[in-house]
Structure 1
Amino acid sequence: MNTTTSASQALALRDPWALVPPMGNLDAYISAVNRIPLLTPEEESAFARKLRDDEDIQAAGRLVLSHLRLVVSISRQYLGYGLPQGDLIQEGNVGLMKAVKRFDPEQGVRLVSYAMHWIKAEIHEYILKNWRMVKVATTKAQRKLFFNLRSMKQGMKGHAPGSETHRNTLTPDEVQRMATELNVKPEEVVEMETRLSGGDVALEPQTDDGEESYAPIAYLADDSQEPTRVLEARSRDAQSSDGIMLALNTLDERSRRIVEERWLKVNDDSSGGMTLHELAAEYGVSAERIRQIEVAALKKMRKTLEVA
């Protein structure tokens, strides 16, 4: 045994986590976790009992460390979804820690078998949330369809008589077979196949040629809560209520009534208030005079609103 190996083993005994490099260097991480020794059944049971009975964190750490290679192995099964393997491994590690916390050594099952469910469950959740902006699977049957459609499709294309490797669409018979086997409706198979076959579209414009209006970000963005628009909306609301009342109070009685009748009054038949000629007849002046009073009153109100 050389000095380097002895030093590594001594470090592992003091702080096993020191052997695992940061996830930033994925190759180094995978290489390191593959070198961590596996636990014997006796060691695994002993650490599991320490965790269960004494809440020994060090024992939990040893159980997790010895199964990090399992997470790496499982993560490779999901590389076809275009997500970084490092992220898949991190999510799988979360599932592994949940499995370790719930593991009961008295059940007669090895941790490696028990943890696979938890690791895959976390990775599945991560893929469903991040692979597409639109959630593609909601029910248990749809999730099974999502994660089995590709492999089933490849199997059918590979074994169907006279099949062509470049043919990607499913035939009606293949759709029905998948629907029956996975306990979903045929139209759900077709919809999932369409979603899985569709390409991703970049939200941001990919060029600098001034075509921003054609990028999805231009019509998907909800700018109603943008701070400037919120302030503008508040200003409009204030002016349409308190501001208008304040402006009306600056007018004399005749000018105010003319403005209210001409601009603010709505009758039951939605015909609005009085006309210029009706007001002129009431006040004993010409319609032109009523219009001049109206223009002057509105100008005065506008100045008041600008100050407010």
Structure 2
Amino acid sequence: MSLALPPAAGAVAAAAPGRPSASLTLPPLGNLDAYISAVNRIPLLSAEEERDCAQRWRLHQDLEAAGRLVMSHLRLVVAISRQYLGYGLPHADLIQEGNIGLMKAVKRFDPAQGVRLVSYAVHWIKAEIHEFILKNWRMVKVATTKAQRKLFFNLRALKRGLKADAGDEDAGRGRLSEAEIDIVARELDVRREDVIEMETRLSGTDVALDPQPGDDGEELSGPIAYLADYRHEPTAVLEARERERLSSEGIEHALAQLDSRSRHIVTARWLQVNDDGSGGATLQELADAYGVSAERIRQIEAAALKKLRQALEAYA
């Protein structure tokens, strides 16, 4: 990923007296190591210079002054972003998000409060990095409430500390005991239920719904195969309606095309159920009723079913 300095820094036209302006007007950098090396060479502002730049920005919207404030604190963003490398996100992305937080801090910084910008900006830098991590750590956001955010960024560290104190060689990986859950909840001022839920979320992994290629190149089945509900898919709905229409109106229409004997045989054999729940009449039962052989009933049935299929196809 290409790393560039914040836009506000590009507005800097001159450096502080006695300092070369080139140190504040750096080109975009595509290499992370080169970027970090460059921002570490940018001179820091003294308390007086920082206060002067902040007042010029607040009173006159001086972009040059804002640029100097931003540029002189880029190394702070790099330092803070290193604390979040354990979440598996690119360092360059963390720095870029932290730079956004730094610019927000400069925009709101009031030197009259009696604090240095470095102290004020830490909150804004961390806030932007936190939001970026929460949005990108997993496909599904794992923390939305204040308590969940607090647990997300502190639970693993506390867990490792508790396991280490207990002499657990596999510190941080095992589940928290009931007593440890109480300790974490008390330490972070959250509910026990929140601790249990967050531990479960952090121990889980993302599962792709769609089929994924296996090691041998063949596509493996994914959850979408058994989670998808096709009952309300438009084509399935239309097919169901058509089957329902054919099973009621269509069959009634087709039966009307048969003579009375054929209609009775088909109805008795396929559309009626005995009192005990068994199937319809047998060939021999119908043969006895009509005084013919069972083979003759079978022939009549076969001819009637053929006519029914033809009538249903015409009706459909």
Scaled by the length of structure 2, the TM-score of the pair is: 0.66
Kept in 1, the 8 Å contact 2:98–2:125? The answer is yes
C-alpha distance in 2 between matches for 1:17 and 1:132: 37
The alignment partner of 2:124 has SS state of helix
Kept in 1, the 8 Å contact 2:85–2:91? The answer is yes
C-alpha distance in 1 between matches for 2:218 and 2:310: 44
Compute the displacement of 1:210 (Å).
Answer: 1.1
Match of 2:145 among 133, 139, 143: 139
Kept in 1, the 8 Å contact 2:102–2:124? The answer is yes
Q: Does 1:124 align with 2:130?
A: yes
Kept in 2, the 8 Å contact 1:92–1:120? The answer is yes
Q: Does 1:274 align with 2:280?
A: no
Match of 1:17 among 19, 25, 31: 25
Taking a change above 3 Å as real, the CA distance of residues 155 and 29 of structure 1, as seen in their structure-2 partners, is same
C-alpha distance in 2 between matches for 1:199 and 1:120: 25
Match of 2:75 among 41, 44, 69: 69
Deviation string, structure 1 residues 214-233 (Cα, Å, up to 9, x no partner): x5676789999xxxx9xxx5
Kept in 2, the 8 Å contact 1:33–1:68? The answer is yes
Taking a change above 3 Å as real, the CA distance of residues 222 and 10 of structure 1, as seen in their structure-2 partners, is farther
Kept in 2, the 8 Å contact 1:96–1:115? The answer is yes
C-alpha distance in 1 between matches for 2:201 and 2:109: 37
Deviation string, structure 1 residues 234-264 (Cα, Å, up to 9, x no partner): 8x97x999xx9xxxxxxxxxxxxxxxxx839
Q: Which runs of no fewer than 5 residues in structure 2 stay unpaired?
A: 1-18, 264-302
C-alpha distance in 2 between matches for 1:33 and 1:119: 16
Compute the displacement of 1:96 (Å).
Answer: 0.8
Kept in 2, the 8 Å contact 1:21–1:28? The answer is no
Match of 1:263 among 220, 229, 246: 246
Taking a change above 3 Å as real, the CA distance of residues 221 and 61 of structure 1, as seen in their structure-2 partners, is farther
C-alpha distance in 1 between matches for 2:145 and 2:107: 27
Q: Which runs of no fewer than 5 residues in structure 1 stay unpaired?
A: 1-7, 245-261, 267-271, 303-308
Alignment of 1:206-285 (within 5 A): 206-213=214-221, 215=222, 263=246, 274=252, 276-278=254-256
Compute the displacement of 1:89 (Å).
Answer: 0.7
Deviation string, structure 1 residues 35-74 (Cα, Å, up to 9, x no partner): 1111111111111122212222222111111111111111
Q: Which residue of 1 aligns with 2:283?
A: none
Q: Does 1:108 align with 2:139?
A: no
Kept in 1, the 8 Å contact 2:246–2:312? The answer is no
Q: Which has the larger radius of gyration?
A: 2
The alignment partner of 2:20 has SS state of helix
Kept in 2, the 8 Å contact 1:39–1:66? The answer is yes
**How many residue pairs align between the two structures?**
253
C-alpha distance in 2 between matches for 1:240 and 1:206: 36
Identity of aligned pairs, percent?
59
C-alpha distance in 1 between matches for 2:219 and 2:116: 58
Q: Which residue of 1 aligns with 2:46?
A: 40
Q: Does 1:164 align with 2:168?
A: yes
Compute the displacement of 1:29 (Å).
Answer: 0.7
RMSD: 3.8
Q: Which residue of 1 aligns with 2:63?
A: 57
More contact order relative to length (CA 8 Å, sep ≥ 6): 2
Taking a change above 3 Å as real, the CA distance of residues 220 and 49 of structure 1, as seen in their structure-2 partners, is farther
Scaled by the length of structure 1, the TM-score of the pair is: 0.68
Q: Which residue of 1 aligns with 2:310?
A: 295
Code of the aligned partner of 1:178: V
